[in-house]
């Protein structure tokens, strides 16, 4: 049976060095088949740490809505500003579902992604970055575009990224964005004929640990508009 946005699942501890050491509840934000698929989840925590840095978040109180169970046992901050991809085979246990809260959570996701707010005039949004060797080893991508909304991105905490790779190396799949015009991807490699922006692999990385450097490039408005359209389609915004 396919899994639907709003479901609350335990995900396993993060395997990479410095990752979350505990199995923890997350909220599914995209449809996800029960076999061989990847869903994108919002991280959840009983601590308001990132909220204090200005991250988009939703405070969920157990059983506060009209429907039976939210899946949480304590007041919990759900962070659409901290996105976590997970394979359907990795889902450990479903604990409940957000229903009344989903319209507000989608609005907050729209805000967290900075849709319509432009590029590097505000924080790191639109900057093309090189990821750390450990993050590259984990996700298979060395470069990415930051799409975090400007004010929170300036704090250099969790950055939402969409990975970028050489268009010659991959066949574009559903939701991917092909870019063959512009100058910004020359910062990745000289004479690169184009790139694939892997929007379905959108995720958050921890800036101090996972971002090695800014390449000096910022994506153009046309590219950002295409990326935003693909993000809206992915999340049903």
Show the 3-state SS of 207-220: HHHHEEEEEEEECC
Average pLDDT over residues 133-153: 94
pLDDT in tens, 9-47: 999 876 555 556 677 899 999 998 878 889 999 999 999
Model confidence, pTM: 0.93
Mean model confidence pLDDT for the chain: 90
72, 42 contact by CB (below 8 A):
no
Question: Residue 224 contacts by C-beta under 8 Å, 6 or more apart in sequence?
Answer: 118, 119, 126
Question: Residue 191 contacts by C-beta under 8 Å, 6 or more apart in sequence?
Answer: none
**Distances from the Cα of 83 to the Cα of 148, 187, 195, 201, 220, angstroms:** 11, 26, 23, 10, 24
How much is the pLDDT for 68? 63
Query: Which domains, from first to last, does the chain contain?
Result: 7-112 (2.30.30.110), 127-235 (2.30.30.110)
3-class secondary-structure state, position 135: helix
How much is the pLDDT for 65? 59
**Which residue would you say has higher pLDDT here, 188 or 66?**
188
CA angle in degrees (0–180, nearest 5) for 210-194-203: 30
Instruction: Please check the confidence at residue 66 and state whether its pLDDT lies above 80.
Output: no
- H runs (alpha helix) in the chain: 49-52, 102-112, 133-139, 150-153, 207-210, 221-235
How much is the pLDDT for 171? 81
169-170-175-180 Cα dihedral, nearest 10 degrees: 40
pLDDT band at 122 (very low <50, low <70, confident <90, very high): low
pLDDT band at 55 (very low <50, low <70, confident <90, very high): very high
Poorest-confidence range of 126-130, 141-145, 169-173, 227-231? 169-173
d(CA 70, CA 211): 34
């Amino acid at each position: 049976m396919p899994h639907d946005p709003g479901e609350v699942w335990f995900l396993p501890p993060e395997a990479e060095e410095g990752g979350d050491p505990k199995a923890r509840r997350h909220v599914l934000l995209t449809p996800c088949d029960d076999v061989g698929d990847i869903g994108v989840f919002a991280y959840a925590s009983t601590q308001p740490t990132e909220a204090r840095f200005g991250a988009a978040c939703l405070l969920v109180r157990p059983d506060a809505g009209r429907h039976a169970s939210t899946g949480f046992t304590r007041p919990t901050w759900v962070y659409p500003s901290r996105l976590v991809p997970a394979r359907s085979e990795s889902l450990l246990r479903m604990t409940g579902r957000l229903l009344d809260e989903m319209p507000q959570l989608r609005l907050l996701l729209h805000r967290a992604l900075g849709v319509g707010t432009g590029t590097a005039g505000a924080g790191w949004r639109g900057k093309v970055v090189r990821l750390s060797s450990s993050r590259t080893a984990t996700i298979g991508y060395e470069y990415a575009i930051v799409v975090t909304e400007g004010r929170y991105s300036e704090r250099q905490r969790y950055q939402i990224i969409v990975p970028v790779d050489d268009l010659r190396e991959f066949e574009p799949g559903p939701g991917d964005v092909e870019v063959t015009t512009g100058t910004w991807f020359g910062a990745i490699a000289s004479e690169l004929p184009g790139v694939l922006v892997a929007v379905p692999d959108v995720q958050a990385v921890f800036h101090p640990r996972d971002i090695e450097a800014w390449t000096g490039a910022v994506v153009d408005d046309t590219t950002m508009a295409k990326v935003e359209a693909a993000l809206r389609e992915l999340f049903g915004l």
